[in-house]
Copies of this chain bind each other. A is one copy, B any other.
Amino acid sequence: MDERAALALVGAELDAAGDDCAVLDGTVVSTDMLHETTDFPAGTTRYTAGWRAVGASLSDVAAMGASATAAVAVYAAPTFEGAELRDFLRGAREVCETVGGEYVGGDLDGHDEFTVATTALGATEDPVLRSGAEPGDALCVTGTLGRSAAALRLFGTDDERANDLFRFEPRVRAGVALAPHATAMLDSSDGLARSLHQLAEASGCGFAVEGDRVPVADAVEETADGADDAREMALHFGEDFELVFATPDPEAAAGASPTPVTRVGAVTESGVRLDGDPLPDRGYTH
């Protein structure tokens, strides 16, 4: 079976699983694994790898509207170089500090491919699930989309800029601020289009997106080959780790959030549509 079917099987077997994090008595937990071949293009520094791997799990914490408490990682590599390991730890620590959490360590493992497994912990008494969106709610996103897609095109020609783009800020503070306003939320790690299909399925609703309202990262304009390509990068590529949420009061949500919030559409009864046309469930499968 493919990964999505397998994830559905896991969700059916385990009560606590299913959203961006597992939830347990006020604690949320998310775990991820990233690999050199699929997640760290040539040119990615270990500093960026540590930041991004830990950041991906922190983004799941953010998507639950939880504060970040701690993160750990397993660093698996064929060899252990002191400088690389220090850079990795610095990235892991700094991304935690950015969101008010603590990087508390982890483990090392000999492995033929550079691989990082991360786990982040968060705290909330009232997690925001994917399942509460109601027709009539506004559909909003934080920040801009397409950063990671643009970064991938810059690796090899401008590694420094690509690394900068790859080190995203997990939206933990925004998630906490948005939690009282959001009826459903997730992060855009699979791309906006796929994220909306996931929200629609969990909430039993649809979405109408207005294409010209979707906030696109500056780097997309610079690296895209025309408008269609830019749209693909912003809507489908994913790995942006912005928050996608529904809210009955988008002004209040925007006012509460430390990260800019853009209303990109509305929750509808059914169907995921972009400017009236079906928006395909196509994106990044991790």
**What residues of B have a CB within 8 angstroms of the CB of A29 in the complex?**
70, 72, 104, 119, 121
Tell me whether A126 is interfacial, beta carbon within 8 Å.
Answer: no
Tell me whether A1 is interfacial, beta carbon within 8 Å.
Answer: yes
Number of copies: 2
**Residue contact B107 to A33, C-beta cutoff 8 Å:** yes
**Residue contact A72 to B13, C-beta cutoff 8 Å:** no
**Residue contact A69 to B31, C-beta cutoff 8 Å:** no
Residues of A110-137 whose CB lies within 8 A of B: 110-113, 115, 117, 119, 121
**What residues of B have a CB within 8 angstroms of the CB of A17 in the complex?**
104-106
Q: Could you list 16 examples of A-B contacts with CB < 8 Å?
A: A3-B108, A3-B109, A6-B80, A9-B85, A10-B85, A13-B86, A14-B89, A14-B93, A14-B104, A22-B104, A24-B70, A29-B121, A32-B74, A33-B107, A33-B109, A111-B115
**Residue contact A72 to B286, C-beta cutoff 8 Å:** no
Chain A interface size, as a band, is 35 or more
**What residues of B have a CB within 8 angstroms of the CB of A16 in the complex?**
102, 104-105
**Which residues of A are interface residues toward B (Cβ below 8 A)?**
1-3, 5-7, 9-11, 13-14, 16-18, 22-25, 27, 29-33, 35, 38, 69-70, 72-74, 76, 80-82, 85-86, 89, 93, 102-113, 115, 117, 119, 121, 286
**Residue contact B10 to A108, C-beta cutoff 8 Å:** yes
**Residue contact B24 to A102, C-beta cutoff 8 Å:** yes
